[in-house]
Amino acid sequence: MKNATKPASIDKPHIIVVGGTSGLGLALALHHQALGWQVSVVGHSTAKIDRLNSQHPNIITYCCDLTDNAQTQSLLESLSNISFQRVIYSAGSYTNERVHHLSQADSDQMLAINLQAFEQVFRWASEQLKHQSCALDINENSSLSLICIASIAGTMDYPYASLYAKSKRAMIATASAYRAALAPYYIQVNCIASGYIDTQALRDLNNDDASHKPFIIKTQTAVEKIMQAIDKDIELAIFPRSMRCITRAINHLPKPLLNWILRSKLDKTT
């Protein structure tokens, strides 16, 4: 559902950031605006959208509940009428399954936002960019790109994984498939799998203080890492380096040992 209408400039490259009204998504949106891009963002909070409209009137905003398939489809149909060169899927939902039992509502929301809406948006965006690629006779110097924000949790293959980790693992695999499928169209696809980022959402989950999280990085540092990954066309960017090394080591542990370690650490009864 559209919240505000502003004409997009035909002289600037255009980016759409899904989940771009706060946190990392907003930081990426503002970074692209500073680089001279026309920016459109999608969010579900009317309060955040109103604040964004007030502070950054040149950013186009759309209000959409990504857990509602029909509403998401309506949004995508309206976005089909505009030209764009990049889409970043930064929307996400998280429930700490080690602390809280996963309710039906939590399960539905995480599955819808982290996987179902992501697949819906990526399918739509890939078709739109393919049409542009064919119509404009795009070559290897194309600037067309699809980016998704996953999580380092999705890079680990371990038992008793949470729904969040499983959905992010599926996102990584899906992005890899799109990268292969869109290569003949010269459309770039990148997936970002970061560790902890010091966003307000993370602080809200930790009594307004996430400083205890291991190897946590500032939002601006994450933006710099992501832009470097896009510029270098890295298929799966995993950072920070310390977390990348740890997850790589964990993935090489013998499965029986990993089973025992995680069984003793996680609140899983089955």
CATH code of the domain in which 25 resides: 3.40.50.720
pLDDT digits (tens, 9 = 90+) for 130-159: 998 887 766 665 689 999 999 998 898 776
DSSP secondary structure letters along 43-95? ES-HHHHHHHHHH-TTSEEEE--TT-HHHHHHHHHHHTTS--SEEEE------
In angstroms, rounded to a whole number, what is the distance separating the alpha carbons of residues 45 and 61? 11
**How much is the pLDDT for 250?**
73
Q: Is residue 171 part of a domain?
A: yes
Angstrom distance (rounded) from CA 174 to CA 193? 13
- Residue 7 belongs to some domain of the structure: no
- Is 178 part of any domain? yes
What residues pair up with 197 in beta bridges, in sequence order?
Answer: 217
Burial (CB < 10 A; 0-12, 13-18, 19+), residue 137, is exposed
Enter the DSSP assignment of 113.
I
Q: What pLDDT, on a 0 to 100 scale, did the predictor assign at position 124?
A: 98
The DSSP secondary-structure symbol of 22 reads S
| Of the candidates 148, 151, 96, 140, the residue with the CA atom closest to the CA atom of residue 119 | 148
Q: Give the Cα separation of 162 and 265 in Å (integer).
A: 13
Residue 2 · residue 16 · CB < 8 Å = no
Residue 143 confidence (pLDDT): 85
> Does 221 reside within a domain?
yes
d(CA 101, CA 86): 37
Within-domain flag for 2: no
Q: How many domains does the chain have?
A: 1
Beta bridge partners of 17: 41, 88
**Does a structural domain hold residue 92?**
yes
Domain that holds residue 149: 14-265
Find, among 175, 190, 180, 193, the residue nearest to 251 by Cα. Answer: 193
Residues of the chain with pLDDT under 70: 1-10, 96-100, 137-142, 159, 199-215, 244, 251, 259, 261-270
Q: Residue 153: inside a domain, yes or no?
A: yes
| Amino acid sitting at position 242 | S
Structural domain includes residue 47: yes
Taking Cα atoms as reference points, which of 150, 94, 89 lies closest to residue 123? Answer: 89
Predicted local confidence at residue 211, as pLDDT = 60
Burial of 255 from C-beta contacts in 10 A (0-12 / 13-18 / 19+): exposed
